[in-house]
Amino acid sequence: MPKKYIVVIKTIGRKWFIILIAIILIVAIYNPIAAIWMSGITLVLFLLSYIPNLFFKRKLNKFMKKYYKIEDELIARKFNKSLQKIQDIMFELSQKQEKKDWLIIFLNKQYVYYHGKSILKFEEVYNKGYTEKEILDNLKDFKVTTRAEIKVIKDSLVKLNRLKEREISVKEHKDKQRFA
C-alpha cells in the first residue's frame, strides 16, 4: 500500500494545470497585477519545457547520420531512452521525410533509418534495371541484409515520389547480361 504523501504528490502532478488555474484565479481576485505576472511566468516555463525535446531531436538526427543503417532498438540503447519514445520520434521524422536525403521505414515492428548515401546507391542500382537480388548484393556494404528491406525501401521511395522510372527494365538488363 503506497504511503499517503506519495499518492497526494502523484495527484498534484496529474492535476497541476487545474490547480495552477485555480491559484491564478484566486490571486486575480485580490491582486490582478500579480495574477498577470504569474500567468506570464507560467507561460514562459511551459514554453521552456519544449526546449529539451528540440535539442534531443537535433542530437538524434546528428547521431543517426553517422550510420548507413540503424534500428530504433539500438538508438534507444545508445541514448538510454525508452523504445516507445524513440519510435514516436522516428514516426514523426518519417512523416516529414519527403525532401530529405535519408529514409526511415517501418519493417517488422521497428523503425529503420537509412543514410542518404545508401538511398542514392539504391536509386542508382534500381535505375540500372537490377533485380532485387542484385540490388541486395550491391547494398551489402550499406548494411542492407534482406529482400524485404529492398521492397519496403522501393515502396517508400515510390510513395514519396523520390524514385524515378527505371532507365532500363529488369528484362532488358537480364537480356544484356545474357547476350553480352
Q: What residue ranges do the domains of the chain occupy?
A: 4-49, 67-173
Q: What is the pLDDT of residue 9?
A: 76
pLDDT, residue 22, reads 86
Provide the residue type at 122 as one letter: F
pLDDT computed for residue 106 by the predictor: 94
In this prediction, residue 157 carries a pLDDT of 92
**Per-residue 3-state assignment (H helix, E strand, C coil) for the chain:** CCCHHHHHHHHHHHCHHHHHHHHHHHHHHHCHHHHHHHHHHHHHHHHHCCHHHHHHHHHHHHHHCCCCEEEHHHHHHHHCCCHHHHHHHHHHHHHCCCCCCCEEEEECCEEEEECHHHHHHHHHHHHCCCCHHHHHHHCHHHCCCCHHHHHHHHHHHHHCCCCCCCCCCHHHHHHHHHHC
Q: Which of the residues in the chain have pLDDT under 50?
A: none
Return the pLDDT at 180: 65
Whole-angstrom CA distances from 12 to 19, 61, 167 are: 8, 35, 63
Query: What pLDDT does 77 receive?
Result: 94
pLDDT tens sequence across 81-133? 999 999 999 999 999 898 899 999 999 999 999 999 999 999 999 988 888 99
Please report the pLDDT score of residue 91 as a whole number. Answer: 94
